[in-house]
Amino acid sequence: MRCAICGIQIDSVDEAVEEGWTPYFYDGETEHEMSCPACSQALLQESTDGEMKVKEEFRAKLRYLDESGDEIWQDHSDIAMAVLKNEPGKLN
């Protein structure tokens, strides 16, 4: 399994639950699977209906690994910096 935003992998559902991964989230009306804790903290927020959604400032700016062109990581420096601020060693 991997984060739909950054692509970092995790071995099992149990490990994902223990480490605080978000099982699914929405960008507008589109549902995406799994987000790692660093991406969740930097890019997602809980909405009034209790669902995890992409923060307003990042909506329609993210590229997801389940979409075409998914082999490259985020090409927006503001998005990459937001994630790295939460987990500086993420890309090491």
Neighbours of 92 (CB within 10 A): 4
Q: What is the pLDDT of residues 61-76, one digit of tens each?
A: 888 886 655 444 455 5
Domain ranges (residues) in the chain = 13-86
Q: What is the pLDDT of residues 6-49, one digit of tens each?
A: 889 999 989 999 999 999 999 999 999 999 999 999 999 999 99
Residue 20 DSSP label? T
* DSSP collapsed to 3 states, 37-84: HHHHHHHEEECCCCCEEECHHHCCCCCCCCCCCCCCCCCCHHHHHHHH
Confidence of residue 79 (pLDDT cuts 50, 70, 90): low
What's the pTM? 0.72
Q: Are 49 and 56 in contact (CB under 8 A)?
A: no
Q: Hey, is 33 helix, strand or coil?
A: strand
